[in-house]
């Protein structure tokens, strides 16, 4: 099986040993407490679940700046985005101490992890601006990822963590949330050698369904990992439970049995376009996937990124050999009225725009909210029904 990124084996930071976890929970009662933000909490979950292999905790200022600037830590590890515990108030926290990190996303703010504080450093306005510009390609406060990042604070609390739980993800999505190690174990159990991964924060329409099938056939993969982001999104995006139900119905009815694994991971969307596409590739390599689909405007939002910037970054900025996973580069996919099937637009050069069934997200949401059926060429009716019920309940 493909090796994890930067390591011979996964390095999940969840404390699996029950005795040790109980000791830490007892220790946490007497430790200084830090209520972290959702971004830091989701970073802890990803560290716990092995998706951030081989990281051992939150980055310090030097590593964060280096990663932002050139996608390498100070030690030379290839990594595309800073993994930080940022906050405004560090009163009561001292270098060398251990602190209990409280979960902002669970009622009562239980202890999520214990961190050993190696450094407390302040990011200047110029340094924050550098990380924002390099990571998101913009400093526009209207960008949802930029708006979130610049609201987190400028104090960098770095150091290793021991994570005690998976926040709300394991409880709210028991049938879907999986760690990188669990996915690897399932791939091994199924005997899959080649696995193509598909990232989604949205429901899957006909074009997405066919794209997965095209990629699987093109690389001769044994199976497809449909891997849903389960964390926080921007306002207006479809909630994870609705997406989960819609995707499961699509796979049940329209994919051959035992060719798809439906899972999810606990991370908040960054909307960072190209840099996040590279991060997504790291996640899937750590899951054991050999190929990863990157399509048009992957992880993008609005008009901040070029249509294929998330593909060309692998040519321009990812050093050869930095990742073992291979990228399947997809074009915009849509139903061709001429050919009576879903195609990649690049494969239909004789088509005009009106030869495709194309609907904007705004149009789709309006149709669903009004109880109008989506075209069969655009969405499977069983999927559309689930989405319509959601929009009409709002």
Sheet holding 195-200, edge to edge: 260-265, 223-229, 195-200, 291-294, 326-329
Catalytic residue among 21, 202, 248, 365: 202
CB neighbours of 337 closer than 8 A, spacing ≥ 6?
355, 356, 357, 377
Distance (Å, rounded) from C-alpha 76 to C-alpha 73?
Answer: 5
Handedness of CA 273, 290, 264, 64 (dihedral sign): negative
201 is annotated as an active-site residue:
yes
- Cβ partners under 8 Å of residue 319, min gap 6: 78
For residues 90 and 32, the answer to whether their CB atoms sit within 8 Å is no
User: Which of 201, 206, 243, 329 is an active site residue?
Assistant: 201
Residue 123 sits at φ, ψ, to 5 deg, of -90, 130
Q: Which residue has the tokens 């249509």?
A: 307
Three-state SS at 195: strand
Burial group, residue 130, by CB count within 10 angstroms (0-12, 13-18, 19+): middle
Give catalytic residues, as residue numbers.
Answer: 201-202
């Amino acid at each position: 099986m493909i090796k994890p990124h930067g390591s011979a084996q996964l390095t999940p930071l969840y404390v699996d040993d029950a005795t040790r976890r109980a000791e830490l929970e007892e220790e946490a009662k007497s430790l200084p407490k830090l209520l972290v933000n959702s971004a830091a909490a989701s970073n802890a979950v990803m560290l716990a679940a092995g998706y951030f292999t081989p990281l051992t905790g939150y980055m310090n200022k030097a590593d964060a700046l280096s990663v932002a600037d050139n996608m390498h830590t100070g030690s030379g590890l290839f990594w595309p985005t800073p993994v930080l515990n940022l906050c405004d108030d560090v009163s009561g926290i001292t270098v060398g101490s251990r602190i209990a990190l409280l979960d902002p996303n669970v009622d009562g703010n239980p202890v999520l992890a214990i961190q050993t504080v190696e450094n407390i450093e302040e990011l200047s306005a110029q340094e924050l601006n550098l990380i924002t510009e390099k990571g998101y390609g913009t400093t526009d406060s209207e960008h949802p990822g930029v708006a979130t990042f610049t609201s987190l604070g400028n104090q960098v609390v770095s150091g290793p963590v021991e994570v005690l739980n998976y926040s709300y993800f394991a409880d709210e999505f028991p049938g879907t949330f999986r760690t990188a190690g669990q996915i690897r174990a399932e791939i091994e159990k199924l005997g899959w050698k080649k696995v193509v991964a598909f990232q989604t924060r949205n429901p899957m329409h006909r074009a997405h369904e066919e794209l997965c099938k095209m990629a699987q056939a093109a690389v001769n993969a044994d199976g497809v990992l449909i891997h849903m982001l389960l964390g926080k999104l921007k306002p207006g995006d479809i909630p994870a439970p609705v997406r989960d139900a819609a995707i499961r119905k699509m796979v049940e009815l329209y994919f051959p049995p035992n060719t798809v694994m439906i899972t999810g991971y606990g991370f908040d969307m960054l909307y960072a376009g190209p840099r996040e596409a590279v991060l997504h590739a790291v996640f899937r390599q750590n899951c054991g996937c050999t190929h990863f689909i990157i399509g048009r405007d992957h992880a993008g939002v609005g008009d901040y990124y070029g249509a294929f910037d998330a593909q060309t970054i692998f040519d321009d900025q990812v050093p050869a050999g930095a990742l073992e996973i291979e990228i399947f580069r997809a074009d915009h996919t849509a139903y061709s009225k001429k050919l009576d099937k879903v195609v990649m637009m690049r494969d239909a050069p004789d088509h005009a725009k009106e030869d495709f069934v194309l609907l904007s997200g705004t149009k789709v949401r309006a149709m669903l909210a009004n109880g109008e059926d989506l075209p069969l060429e655009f969405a499977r009716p069983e999927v559309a029904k689930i989405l319509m019920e959601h929009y009409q309940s709002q």
